[in-house]
Amino acid sequence: MTSIQKHLKKTQLLIAMLLLLLVHAQAQTNAKEIKDLMSAGKSKKALDLVEKEISKTGLTDELSVLKSTALLGINAEKAFENMQFTITKFPNSAAAYNMRGLFFYGINDMANSLKDFNKAYELCTTDDSLKFEILINRSGVSHHVNKIENAIADCREALKIRPDNLDALNNLSATLFDDDQFDEAEKILLGIKEKNPKYIGAYVNLGYQNQKRERYAFAEKYLLEGLALEPNEPYVLNNLGYAQFKLGKTEEALKNINKSLKFFPTNAYAYRNLALIYLAQNQKEKACEAIQKALSYSFTDLYGDEVKDLKKQNCL
């Protein structure tokens, strides 16, 4: 189980997202309290609350899933053991498979994650709220492993359940963009921005998509709008820094990328961006330090060989 702990240390943000998603998917009356406790770093109190509920009402699959959620903040191996127990105890529980699928996603085991989401979808026949979560989760994995058509199909099915859900629309835009459907992807994001001007995901994606299309001035514009809403949002800061680097605003770029790392210190992509700036400045020592940081935070597993190639070209 040491490999689980190793991966978790390198994917802290994914695990934080996992905890919130897991609690959000539950129907238990105490789920919000558990979410609040875990968000405040009080996992032991959250676990005590779940154990108290189990002793009062008996063990159910949803309570067992919540127990795994609470354990994640204390001991990853024990959390995983409880996930395995839950599936053995409740083999027809869609929530249990959804939980483990999210966990596998958090440790970058996409093959097992997809298997569990497929099983969860098969078992989920009556609960539209849970089915929505499963579809969004499965779409994310399919997108990650480049099964773009499957990812798009799951997003569209999820939107049949919740047509105005901004997260689902945002995810659909991201998958359409990676399918080279640029105009529809942008139209969706601009529609989100119009519906809810404070939805930060639209600004992050508008910035990213314009960067990928080398429209750096537009990327900077949208990311600055996002930054006005959430000055400490690490994805906005990092992407803004990269756009500013490409626009020749190097000092601003370094300031924003380094600020992003204060809020997301394990972001491999931010270190990749720092490396590119330092290489452009011919500061190889700093560049190689950033490259090594990116590699230590699993850049290759998450994004491919770009940083590994930079190391071969500049640091050996």
Q: How is residue 281 annotated by DSSP?
A: T
Q: What is the pLDDT of residues 158-183, one digit of tens each?
A: 999 999 999 999 999 999 999 999 99
Q: Give the lowest-confidence range in 64-68, 227-231, 289-293.
A: 64-68
pLDDT at 7 over 50: no
pLDDT at 2: 43
Residue 53 confidence class, pLDDT cut points 50, 70, 90: confident
Residue-averaged pLDDT of the chain: 89
Is the pLDDT score of 80 beyond 60? Answer: yes
Of 37-41, 195-199, 290-294, minimum mean pLDDT range? 37-41
Q: What's the pLDDT at 6?
A: 46
How confident is the model at residue 13, as a pLDDT?
42
Q: Express as a percent the part of the chain with pLDDT over 70.
A: 89
User: Residue 11: its pLDDT value, please?
Assistant: 41
Higher-confidence position of 29 and 297:
297
3-state per-residue secondary structure call for the chain: CHHHHHHHHHCHHHHHHHHHHHHHCCCCCCHHHHHHHHHCCCHHHHHHHHHHHHHHHCCCHHHHHHHHHHHHCCCHHHHHHHHHHHHHHCCCCHHHHHHHHHHHHHCCCHHHHHHHHHHHHHHCCCCHHHHHHHHHHHHHHHHHCCCHHHHHHHHHHHHHHCCCCHHHHHHHHHHHHHCCCHHHHHHHHHHHHHHCCCCHHHHHHHHHHHHHCCCHHHHHHHHHHHHHHCCCCHHHHHHHHHHHHHCCCHHHHHHHHHHHHHHCCCCHHHHHHHHHHHHHCCCHHHHHHHHHHHHHCCHHHHHCCHHHHHHHHHCC
Give the pLDDT score at 9: 43
What share of the chain in percent tops pLDDT 90?
72
Tell me which of 246 and 18 has the higher pLDDT: 246
DSSP string, 61-97: HHHHHHHHHHHHTT-HHHHHHHHHHHHHH-TT-HHHH
Q: Which of 5-14, 33-42, 45-54, 79-88 has the highest mean pLDDT?
A: 79-88
Residue ranges covered by each domain of the chain: 1-105
Task: Give this prediction's pTM.
Answer: 0.83
In this prediction, residues 221-232 reach a mean pLDDT of 97
Q: Over 70: is that where the pLDDT of 314 sits?
A: yes
When pLDDT is averaged across residues 241-262 and rounded to a whole number, the result is 97
